[in-house]
Each structure stands twice: as structure tokens, then as C-alpha cells.
């Protein structure tokens, strides 16, 4: 390393100090510039992941023709961190569809996986980013219970991901490390092994967090408050798609407690929010939880940012009306981090604004009368220009929500490389 220093003998000490002053000024300028850039907020332009503030990453949305990267939300605001103590069914929680079906997840040795993918980061990371609901497809496979993204009720080696207990242990670790958090698991159930599911959850150490079926409201009443659920350590809510398992294994039958719109393409068709055929009508008063499915039949990563922009906000309004002016409690999506700025996180904020009578939960004030909303400063939206020939991507691992570490990575590729599939 080279260090500049004055010569021992000099006629002018001022002349000797001049380079030092110039270096100090340059250092101060760079330091101040980096601090200013590091605090760039959502929708502001960026060129590196470290430019963006906590909970944000630097990315763009080519599907909307936006190649200039902007700071984009990557973490949720938990509504009960602002308005606490309400019944569980008064909040809206973010859910990942096929949470386990992760891009680049290793396949079985010697087998090429042939299936669709729905997420881009680990279940642990999803939970750390504020996801509070997981959709898991469970099958009997190789003498065990596996997570598979398959068809015809059968798991194959080319549709298998991993033993389900691995993911459930991630959930257990998260609940153990975060004693005030509540997680919901919704199982698409193809397990026929007697007592297979309940034994699986017990072996994963999740039985101690179990919310018992006996405490679930049967006629559309309010659920216990989140405070009560935490105090009693009933912090894991589990649903199965097989009705008989409620009596046999103590696992709640999904459509007895959940109202749900149609999944896949019917659930993203503008102006329509049809009830799922297995579910009671969305406006039924016999159940107090509503699940809003919002993902296309065939997931496409690069289209998700477009899906999570204006169409999502419009669909929330459509499903709100279809449910008899009731806000859904769960919003299930693919590729939850992809958006054109605020995405699913802003949508959930707006849905949770109803907990205090405000347009967004960020305007709520703890302890204030209902409808007492604080002024929320909207982010300054920088003009988004197209930078020909470049595409920016940034999908990354965050630290737990409370630490708010910004995303550390940015990948820049030419459009020609993207189109040709070059890495």
C-alpha cells in the first residue's frame, strides 16, 4: 500500500499540506455522497443495491418497459406492530403460493426437475421478509412425506423438492427465534399415511405452537386476538384440504374456516373474483377468514412485477366487493418480491389500513381513536427513463425484519443476453 507523506525538509509546509487537504476534501465528499445515496427511498433511482434504504432492493420491471432501476420494497410492515391486540381475522397477512417451489432448488441426484417454480428465496427468508402464510403441497413419497409440485395426486422424482420436515424445521426455528410471530400453513394434502401429517409436525417440533381446532370459531365469529394467541403460544395455524383429518388428526379442514376465490387465471381476471368451487361463497358469514388467491395458472418470473402493480390494486378492490365489503385476511402470490416499486407490500399495507380506519397501515397511530390518521409523506417518484440495452435484476437475501439490512447485490445484463438466455 502506498502512503503519501511530506518530505523531511521543505521550504513550504503549506505546500506540503495541500495534497492532504485535497485528499481530505475528496474523502469527505465521497463519504457524504455515499450517505445520501444509501438513504434512497422506494421509487427513487438507484444503480447499486446498497443505494437503497433498509428493506429495499435495487431492481426494475422490464414487463412494464421500465429498464431504469429503482429502489423497490422487499419487506412487509407487520400490521400488529402498529395496531396490536385485534382478533386474528382483522388483519391481512402476506402468503407465498407454493412457498417451497423455489427457483434453483437442488433436484434429486441424477434427475432433471420438470415443473413450474413460484418463489425465489428460502422459506426462512420469506418469513424474515414478513411473509406469514405458507402454501405447501405434501405427498407420500419414498416412504416419507415430501414437498412436490406435481399432478394427478402423485409425486414423482422429477417433481419432488425435499422432505417436508426440512421446511417445517425452518418454520420451527423462526417461531422459536421470534416469540411474538404467528404463522399460517395451508396444505394441499395428498398424504394418505395414517396420522402422517400430525406426526410430521410433531417430529418437526411444531406441536408446542399448535393452534387447536377446538379454539377455532365455527360460525363466523371473531378469532382470538393476536395477543391471546401469543400469550398461549398458539402461534401456528394449520389447514388441510382433506376434511377427514380434522377428526382423525386434529388438523383444521380448510374450507370449514376459510372462504377463498378461484386460484390461477380466473383469480387474476380483471373485474371478476369468483369463489373457489370447494369454498362457500366469498360473502358467506359462516367463516371469518378470507383467502385471496392472486397468481396466474402458469407462473412467469419476469411478468410478476407487472402483475403486482396496478392490476393487483384493482383486484383487491374487486374481491373486497365480492366478499361483501370485507377485506381479505390472506393475500397469496407468486414471486412476492417482484414489483414496480411497492408491489404486494403496498397492497397489504392498504388492506391493513382498515384496522384503524386509514388508507394505509403506515398512517395508523397506536392507541389513537379509530380514524385518527397521521399524514403520510408519499415517496418522491423519480422520472423513470428507459436505458436502452440494459436490464437490472436484484433478488436477494435479507436479514430479519428488525435489522433491516438492505439488499447487497445487483446484476446488470444486456437485453440481448437476457433474450438469448446467456448467464
Summarised one tens digit per residue, pLDDT across range 284-294 is: 999 999 999 99
- Residue whose C-alpha cell is 400488529: 80
pLDDT of residue 50: 67
Residue 384 reports pLDDT greater than 60: no
pLDDT of residue 362: 95
Among residues of the chain, what percentage have pLDDT more than 70? 79
Residue 94 reports pLDDT greater than 60: yes
- Pairwise pLDDT comparison (186 vs 398), residue with the higher score: 186
The C-alpha atoms of residue 344 and residue 333 are separated, in whole angstroms, by 8
Q: Is residue 417 very low, low, confident or very high in pLDDT (cuts 50, 70, 90)?
A: very low
The C-alpha atoms of residue 43 and residue 64 are separated, in whole angstroms, by 14
The C-alpha atoms of residue 170 and residue 117 are separated, in whole angstroms, by 20
Query: Do the bridges between strand 66-73 and strand 56-61 make them parallel or antiparallel, or are there none, so unpaired?
Result: antiparallel
Mean pLDDT within 192-214: 98
- For 369-400, letters b (16+ CB in 10 Å) and e give eeeebeeeeeeeeeebeeeeebbbbbbbebeb
Mean pLDDT within 78-96: 98
The C-alpha atoms of residue 65 and residue 230 are separated, in whole angstroms, by 45
366 with 335: CB under 8 angstroms? no
Q: Cell for 278?
A: 370447494
Q: Using H for helix, E for strand and C for coil, what is the string for the chain?
A: CCCCCCCCCCCCHHHHHHHHHHHHHHHHHHHHHHHHHHCECCCCECCCHHHECCCEEEEEEHHHCEEEEEEEECCCCCHHHCCCCCEHHHCCEEEECCCCCECCCCCCCCCCCCCCCCECCCHHHHHHCCCCEEEEEEEEECCEEEEECCECCECCCCCEEEEHHHHHHHHHHHHHHCCCCCEEEEEEEECCCCCHHHHHHHHCCCHHHECCHHHCCCCCCCCCEHHHHHHCCCCEEEEECCCCHHHHHCCEEHHHHEEEECCCHHHHCCCCCCECCCCCCCCCCCCCEEEEECCCCCCCHHHHHHHCCHHHHHHHHHHHHHCCCCCCCEEEECCCCCCCCCHHHHHHHHHHHHHCCCCCHHHCCCCCCCCCCCCCCCCCCCCCCCCCCEEEECCCCCCCCCCCCCCCCCEEEEHHHHHHCCC
- Which residues, other chains included, contact 175 with Cβ-Cβ below 8 Å and sequence gap of 6+? 181, 183, 206, 209, 235, 236
The C-alpha atoms of residue 14 and residue 89 are separated, in whole angstroms, by 72
- Residue whose C-alpha cell is 388483519: 91
101 with 117: CB under 8 angstroms? yes
Q: Is residue 40 very low, low, confident or very high in pLDDT (cuts 50, 70, 90)?
A: confident
Mean pLDDT within 153-166: 98
Q: Cell for 192?
A: 394418505
304 with 340: CB under 8 angstroms? no
Mean pLDDT within 144-171: 98
Architecture of domain 75-382: Alpha-Beta Barrel (3.20)
Q: Is residue 47 very low, low, confident or very high in pLDDT (cuts 50, 70, 90)?
A: confident
- Pairwise pLDDT comparison (197 vs 404), residue with the higher score: 197
| Annotated domain spans of the chain | 75-382
- Pairwise pLDDT comparison (242 vs 32), residue with the higher score: 242
Mean pLDDT within 184-202: 99
- Write the pLDDT tens digit of every residue in 103-118: 999 999 899 999 999 9
Residue 34 reports pLDDT greater than 80: no
For residue 139, what are the β-bridge partners?
146, 190
Mean pLDDT within 63-70: 94
291 with 328: CB under 8 angstroms? yes
Residue 1 reports pLDDT greater than 90: no
Q: Taking each helix axis as running N to C, give the angle between helix 196-203 and helix 164-177, from 0 to 180 degrees, rounded to the nearest 10.
A: 50
230 with 222: CB under 8 angstroms? no
- Pairwise pLDDT comparison (340 vs 411), residue with the higher score: 340
Mean pLDDT within 361-373: 95
- Write the pLDDT tens digit of every residue in 236-248: 999 999 999 999 9
pLDDT of residue 5: 32
Amino acid at each position: 500500500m502506498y502512503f503519501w507523506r511530506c518530505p523531511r525538509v521543505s521550504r513550504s509546509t503549506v505546500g506540503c499540506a495541500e495534497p492532504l487537504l485535497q485528499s481530505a476534501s475528496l474523502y469527505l465528499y465521497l463519504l457524504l455522497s455515499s450517505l445520501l445515496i444509501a438513504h434512497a427511498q422506494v421509487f427513487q433511482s438507484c444503480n447499486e443495491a446498497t443505494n437503497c434504504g433498509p428493506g429495499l432492493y435495487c431492481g426494475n420491471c422490464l414487463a412494464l418497459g421500465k429498464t431504469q432501476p429503482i429502489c423497490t420494497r422487499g419487506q412487509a410492515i407487520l400490521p400488529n406492530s402498529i395496531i396490536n391486540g385485534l382478533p386474528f381475522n382483522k388483519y391481512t397477512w402476506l402468503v407465498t403460493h407454493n412457498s417451497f417451489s423455489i427457483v434453483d432448488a437442488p433436484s434429486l441426484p441424477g434427475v432433471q426437475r420438470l415443473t413450474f417454480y413460484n418463489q425465489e428465496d428460502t422459506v426462512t427468508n420469506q418469513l424474515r421478509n414478513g411473509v406469514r402464510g405458507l402454501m405447501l403441497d405434501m405427498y407420500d413419497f419414498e416412504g416419507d412425506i415430501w414437498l412436490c409440485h406435481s399432478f394427478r395426486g402423485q409425486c414423482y422424482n422429477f417433481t419432488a423438492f425435499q422432505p417436508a420436515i426440512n421446511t417445517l424445521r425452518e418454520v420451527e426455528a423462526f417461531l422459536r427465534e421470534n416469540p411474538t410471530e404467528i404463522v399460517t400453513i395451508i396444505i394441499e394434502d395428498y398424504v394418505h399415511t395414517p396420522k402422517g401429517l400430525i406426526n410430521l409436525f410433531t417430529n418437526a417440533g411444531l406441536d408446542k405452537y399448535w393452534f387447536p381446532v377446538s379454539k377455532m370459531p365455527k360460525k363466523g365469529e371473531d378469532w382470538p386476538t393476536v395477543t391471546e394467541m401469543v400469550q398461549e403460544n398458539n402461534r401456528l395455524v394449520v389447514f388441510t384440504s382433506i376434511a377427514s383429518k380434522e377428526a382423525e388428526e386434529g388438523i383444521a379442514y380448510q374450507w370449514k374456516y376459510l372462504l377463498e376465490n378461484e386460484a390461477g387465471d380466473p383469480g387474476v381476471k380483471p373485474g371478476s373474483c369468483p369463489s373457489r368451487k370447494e369454498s362457500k361463497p366469498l360473502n358467506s358469514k359462516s367463516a371469518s377468514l378470507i383467502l385471496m388467491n392472486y397468481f396466474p395458472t402458469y407462473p412467469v418470473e419476469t411478468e410478476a412485477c407487472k402483475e403486482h402493480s396496478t392490476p393487483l390494486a384493482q383486484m383487491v378492490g374487486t374481491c373486497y366487493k365480492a366478499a361483501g365489503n370485507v377485506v381479505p385476511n390472506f393475500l397469496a402470490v407468486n414471486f412476492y418480491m417482484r414489483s414496480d416499486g411497492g408491489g404486494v407490500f403496498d397492497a397489504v399495507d392498504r388492506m391493513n389500513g382498515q384496522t384503524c380506519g386509514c388508507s394505509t397501515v403506515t398512517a395508523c397511530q397506536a392507541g389513537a381513536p379509530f380514524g385518527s390518521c397521521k399524514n403520510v409523506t408519499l415517496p418522491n417518484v423519480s422520472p423513470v427513463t428507459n436505458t436502452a440495452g440494459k436490464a437490472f435484476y436484484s433478488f436477494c437475501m435479507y436479514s430479519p425484519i428488525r435489522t433491516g439490512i438492505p439488499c447487497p447485490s445487483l446484476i446488470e445484463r444486456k437485453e440481448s443476453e437476457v433474450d438469448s438466455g446467456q448467464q
